Amino acid sequence: LNAVYTALPTTIFEHMSGLARANEAINLGQGFPDGPPPPVLSAAVTRAMAERSQHYPPMAGVPELRDAVADFYGRQQGLALSREEVIVTSGATEAIAAAILAIASPGDEVLMFQPAYDAYAPLVRRVGAVPVFVPLQPPAWSYDAQTIRAAITPRTRAMIVNDPLNPTGKIMDAGERALLAELAVEHDLYAICDEVWETVRFDGGTHRSLLAEPGMAERTVKIGSAGKIFGATGWKVGWMIAAPAMAAVLAKAHQFLTFTTPPMLQWAVAEGLADDALVAGQVAGWAATRRILNEGLARNGLTVLPGEATWFTCIDLAASGIALGDREAAERLVREARVASIPLSALWEGDDAPQHILRLCHCKPEAMLNEALERIVGWQ
Ligand code: GLN
């Protein structure tokens, strides 16, 4: 068996969800909304199942969805994309895998910024490449030019950039985007941009992709997710965006991973993406759940860290008077208070991981959040 996997722990998300089930806990660990996706999307799936083919759709995605994704980014982010630049995948996780398979070769180094989503490094290692971790600088989780430059070598092939950032909700500023683009161009690097949280932002701003920076169009894979846009995580509909020549190669990685993605889900997502009000409504709902959780935590003396995006709120354990490492806090919280969370250090390799931050998922009904708050406060 391959050593990358025999040595790998089960992902923290599955681990904490398992503990949540075993302890009948409120699951604020793994990120997913409590309710169903928007009813119009579910109705669109039902209609497609009754009326349209359920056999293999085209490998790169149904034309309706490829066009809808291109149009969506045109309206929302000012990108001028064509259908050829969109490859539909079975979730963003498949897109991340396909991009790494298509870009990295044995011996290459791939930069990633910590905290880092836990799927990146094992995939890089499995292709025989080497993950090189660059810490973001707290409290703002900023990208530091000197630190990044020091990590780049002649073997560096690519950087993986997650913006907005899971778990902290940090959004890159214009200077940081310009810095990463400048370094990518200067060192001839590909950028794998995991932008699945692009619509889930609460600062009133508009997402700007690294893809749009000067010199980046030919070297960037931009990854998106209908699961995040519509709160439909189990649907596993995602996509990769890249210039046509690169997209053609990415499609070859995708064709032997999953080949296709269920067509009825693709048609439904295409309908959803055409509806800007539906997308805005999703975000407005999550802005409300975020406020309920953040205000409740603050009211009860817990320190909420700044963050302007994602379904997550991070609390500073030390500043909140909880003298436990994040992993121990998460393990005890789920067993003793029956609230599941995610310790930030699970998304950080090496011994310089911050040990004092716990991630909580806020996209849940008010009553559930209030019950979780009561349990957390009672446990302290
Ligand atoms: N993206 C989800 C999260 O951060 C987890 C997805 C998964 O469990 N694979 O909670």
Q: Does the beta carbon of 13 sit less than 6 angstroms from any atom of ligand 1?
A: yes
Residue from 12, 13, 358 to probe ligand 1 pocket by mutation (most atoms less than 8 Å from CB):
13
Element (H, E) at 376: helix 366-379
pLDDT > 80? residue 43: yes
Q: Does the beta carbon of 313 sit less than 6 angstroms from any atom of ligand 1?
A: no
- Asked if residue 38 belongs to a domain, the reply is no
The 3-state DSSP class for residue 136 equals coil
218 shares its domain with 247: yes
Q: How many Cβ atoms sit within 10 Å of the Cβ of residue 12? A: 20
Please tell me the residue having the least CA distance from ligand 1 atom 7: 13
Amino acid at 319: A
Average pLDDT, stretch 244-254? 98
pLDDT of residue 253: 98
Q: Does the beta carbon of 143 sit less than 6 angstroms from any atom of ligand 1?
A: no
Residue that is last in its domain, among 230, 252, 274: 274
d(CA 60, CA 80): 19
Number of H helices, E strands in the chain: 14, 13
CB 160 within 8 A of CB 120: yes
pLDDT of residue 90: 98
Residues spanned by the domain of 297:
3-30+278-379
Q: Going by DSSP bridges, is the β-strand pair 312-316/130-135 parallel, antiparallel, or unpaired?
A: unpaired
- The CATH number that applies at residue 138 is 3.40.640.10
pLDDT single digits (tens) 299-335: 999 999 999 999 999 999 999 999 999 999 999 999 9
d(CA 54, CA 40): 20
Per cent of the chain over pLDDT 90 is 99
Q: What does the buried/exposed string (b/e) look like for 13-48 if buried means 16 or more CB atoms within 10 Å of the residue's CB? A: bebbbebbeebebbbbbbbbbeeebbeebeebbeeb
Average pLDDT, stretch 171-187? 98
pLDDT of residue 23: 98
Eight-class DSSP state of 203: S
Scan for tokens 């993406």, then name that residue: 273
Amino acid at 149: R
215 shares its domain with 71: yes
Q: Look up the pTM and report it.
A: 0.97
- The CATH number that applies at residue 305 is 3.90.1150.10
Residue that is last in its domain, among 240, 274, 308: 274
Residue from 16, 90, 120, 166 to probe ligand 1 pocket by mutation (most atoms less than 8 Å from CB):
166
Residue 301, burial from CB neighbour count under 10 angstroms (0-12, 13-18, 19+):
exposed
Q: Does the beta carbon of 162 sit less than 6 angstroms from any atom of ligand 1?
A: no
From the alpha carbon of 32, which atom of ligand 1 is closest?
A: 10
- Asked if residue 46 belongs to a domain, the reply is no
157 shares its domain with 82: yes
pLDDT tier at 259, thresholds 50, 70, 90: very high
pLDDT of residue 179: 98
* 226 token code pair: 């209908």
The question of ipTM being above 0.85 is answered as yes
282 shares its domain with 264: no
Residue that is last in its domain, among 254, 274, 294: 274
Q: How many Cβ atoms sit within 10 Å of the Cβ of residue 84? A: 16
237 shares its domain with 348: no
- Asked if residue 66 belongs to a domain, the reply is yes
pLDDT of residue 168: 98
62 shares its domain with 180: yes
Average pLDDT, stretch 110-132? 98
234 shares its domain with 289: no
pLDDT > 80? residue 277: yes
Q: At what angle do helices 91-103 and 244-255 cross, to 10 degrees?
A: 110
168 shares its domain with 241: yes
Per cent of the chain over pLDDT 70 is 100
148 shares its domain with 201: yes
pLDDT tier at 354, thresholds 50, 70, 90: very high
**Domain count for the chain:** 2
pLDDT of residue 171: 98
pLDDT of residue 246: 98
pLDDT of residue 80: 98
d(CA 251, CA 246): 9
Q: Who contacts 173 (Cβ-Cβ below 8 Å, separation ≥6)?
A: none
pLDDT of residue 220: 98
Eight-class DSSP state of 115: S
The dihedrals phi and psi of 160, each to the nearest 5 degrees, come to: -105, 125
Q: Where do runs of H (alpha helix) occur along 104-211?
A: 120-126, 145-151, 174-186
pLDDT single digits (tens) 66-81: 999 999 999 999 999 9
CA of 351 to the centre of ligand 1 (A): 23
Q: Does the beta carbon of 225 sit less than 6 angstroms from any atom of ligand 1?
A: no
- Asked if residue 48 belongs to a domain, the reply is no
- Asked if residue 37 belongs to a domain, the reply is no
Averaged confidence pLDDT in the chain: 97
d(CA 193, CA 99): 10
pLDDT tier at 83, thresholds 50, 70, 90: very high
Amino acid at 12: I
